[in-house]
Amino acid sequence: MPALLELDNITISFGGLTALNRVSLRVEEGKINSLIGPNGAGKSTIFNVITGIYTPTYGRVIFQGEDITREKPYLITARGIARTFQNIRLFKNLTVLDNVKIGCHSSSRAGLFGAVTRLGWVKREEREITARAQRALEIVGLASKGDELAKNLPYGEQRRLEIARALAASPRLLLLDEPAAGMNPQEKQTLMEMVQRIREMNITIMLVEHDMSFVMNLSDHVDVLNYGEKIAGGTPAEIRQNPRVIEAYLGNEIE
Amino acid sequence: MDGIMRILTDPYYIQVLTLTGIYLIAALGLHLITGVTGQFSFGHAGFMSIGAYTAALLTLHLHTPLILNLLVGGLAAGFAGILLGFPSLKLTGDYLGITTLGFAEIVRVVFINMKITGGTQGLAGIPKETSLLLVIVVAVLSVWCMYRIQNSRFGRALMAIREDDIAAEAMGINTLIYKVKAFAVGTFFAGVSGGLYAHLMQYLNPFDFGVTRSFDLLNFVVLGGLGSIPGTILGTTVLTMAPEFLRFVNKYRMLIYSALMVIMMIFRPNGLLGGVHLKDLRRAFTRRRSTEMASQ
């Protein structure tokens, strides 16, 4: 079966620093795929390459069989890849509902003319957007907070709002960049259930996360990066046994 | 009541009110660019002058009706906005500000050196066709347009760019195109406002549209409250009328005006009505009405 997303020999350097070196990996449809590695290993860089924020120096990104390596970020979103950000990037001064409505952008089409005339189809589309945004908020448990400003939400809810905003784009592939960062164990538990529910909606998930129990409990497949190179890939059980992974995280034994 | 009638029939007050309305139309355009989309433009008066000269020349040479001239003036300004927008909206913040400032200066110098615009002598003999009523109608129409634009998918995309352009792009918004569109619409309003100005003053001089005028317009929008339509209306009204009503202390007029601005910056750093939106006002009004109905 062809993979939903495939990275083929991705290499990217910033000046003299090679952030990713010949990284190849496959994201299988319908699975939860995780990316782990020590700080600075290049995990977020991979997300930025996939979503078109960075263009790789070498290598290709294939999504649903098509090369999207040099495509603009907004077009990649329209193809069905949505993401959250490691350092929360909400539209702070807009309401929670408006944040999620903006997530519906690429699947709606009313423009300037529609805004001024508010023809029948524009109103219909707007109602549809509102309904879809509301459903996305329900999935992450924020349905009652639609009218609040995003900046007034507590931290954990801001992280969930980012997920709702990405879900509103109706993605095939959802990239979550450290969704559990800064959450307490209880919030992490809720988040884990949420991610599983999203997978059941037939959305493939790619996850960057530092919390090992979170990753190991949730993932179907784990890839490990260290210093910009992929050092291992496999099921959580295989990764846990892999000597190179243990070495990357805990260091070498002194001979 | 008697006082109001006297104000409404006094030519001086009518002139001040008409000017306020004209500035409001230009300020609403800048509100879309700066307040809603978050792109700083220091050259809005330059676009006003493009609209003003275009409309005036059409009236003088082709004798076409005013409404058409206003529209063409607006379109000319909007077209200039697109031409400037494509290369410069890739820049952000200060850089964009400097580019727009420079552009407005270029426009001014071009008008000074062109024969058809009368050069430094200015363009005289434009018929007086702008009336207070017309300005009120256009201003109300502009507010209505802005309200609809801001509360739509289009407006949300603009606000997303203001809040975080990387996240906006990741949500599927083509940020450059949307910024250019906002710029085009905003400068269109400046052009219409310029056309009205030309047919009110009956005389145009490139020096009328210098840096000071651009910053005046920016002041209206910022001190009224960035991103708020009621704020833009209040800011324009207060800051246009204050210098006029302060004429009785002639010598200290500009001093008091400046002090007013400093005080506003200290006590209302987000502008007079920052964060207040027409939508909220409408909601508050309907809520009050329904509670009144319930209590009856």
Tokens of B14: 């009518």
pLDDT beyond 60 at B296: no
pLDDT digits (tens, 9 = 90+) for A129-158: 999 999 999 999 999 999 999 999 999 899
SS3 state at A66:
strand
Compute the 3-state secondary structure of chain A and give helix, strand, coil in percent, each to the nearest 5.
Answer: 40, 25, 35
Residue B96's pLDDT is 86
Contact yes or no for B172 and A78 at CB 8 A: yes
How do strand A5-14 and strand A32-36 relate by DSSP bridges? unpaired
Q: Is B170's CB within 8 Å of A73's CB? A: yes
Mean pLDDT of chain B: 88
Residues forming CATH 3.40.50.300 domain(s) in chain A = 1-80+172-255
ipTM over 0.90: yes
pLDDT at A62: 95
> Is it the case that residue A72 has pLDDT exceeding 80?
yes
- How far is A214 from chain B, CA to nearest CA, in Å? 26
Q: What pLDDT was estimated at residue A253? A: 67
Size of chain A, expressed as the number of residues it contains = 255
pLDDT band, very low/low/confident/very high, at A178 (cuts 50, 70, 90)? very high
pLDDT reading at B250 higher than 80:
no
Give the pLDDT confidence of B19-66 residue by residue, as tens digits: 999 999 999 999 999 999 999 899 999 999 999 999 999 999 999 999
What pLDDT, on the 0 to 100 scale, is given for residue B200? Answer: 94
Task: Give the pLDDT mean for A11-22.
Answer: 90
Give residue B71's pLDDT.
96
B2 pLDDT more than 90: no
What does the pLDDT average to over A118-130? 90
Give mean pLDDT, residues B267-275.
76
What is the percent of chain A with per-residue pLDDT over 90, rounded to a whole number? Answer: 74
**In contact, B163 and A93? CB cutoff 8 Å:** yes
Name the residue range of residue B168's domain.
2-295
Amino acid at B232: T
Specify the pLDDT at position B136.
96
Specify the pLDDT at position B289. 67
User: Tokens at residue B128, please?
Assistant: 């007086």
The CATH code of the domain that includes B172 is 1.10.3470
- Residue window 86-145, chain A: list those with CB within 8 Å of chain B: 89-94, 98, 101-103, 105-106, 108, 110-112, 114-116, 118, 122, 125-126, 129
Overall average pLDDT of the A1-19 stretch: 89
DSSP conformational letter for A253: P
- pLDDT at B119 (0 to 100): 82
Distance between CA atoms of residues A130 and A137, nearest Å: 11
- Residue A63 corresponds to which tokens in the numbers above? 């999504």
B211 near A CB under 8 A: no
CATH class of this structure's domain A1-80+172-255:
alpha beta
What pLDDT score does B265 carry? 78
Give chain A positions within 8 Å (CB) of B78: none
Q: Which of A176-190, B88-102, B188-202 shows the highest mean pLDDT?
A: B188-202
Q: Do residues B13 and B180 lie in contact, with contact meaning Cβ atoms separated by under 8 Å? A: no
Q: Which residues in chain B have their CB less than 8 angstroms from residue A112's CB?
A: 149, 154, 181, 185
Q: Which of B32, B33, B147, B153 is the best residue to mutate to test the A interface, defined by the most A CB atoms within 10 Å of its own CB? A: B153
Strand, coil or helix: A217: helix
Domain count, chain B: 1
Per residue in A25-40, pLDDT tens?
999 999 999 999 888 8
As a whole number, mean pLDDT of residues B235-256 equals: 81
At A194-239, the pLDDT tens digits run 999 999 999 999 999 988 889 999 999 999 999 899 998 999 999 9
Asked if residue B261 has pLDDT above 90, the reply is no
Which of B144, B171, B181, B183 should we substitute to test contact with A (largest number of A Cβ atoms within 10 Å)? Answer: B171
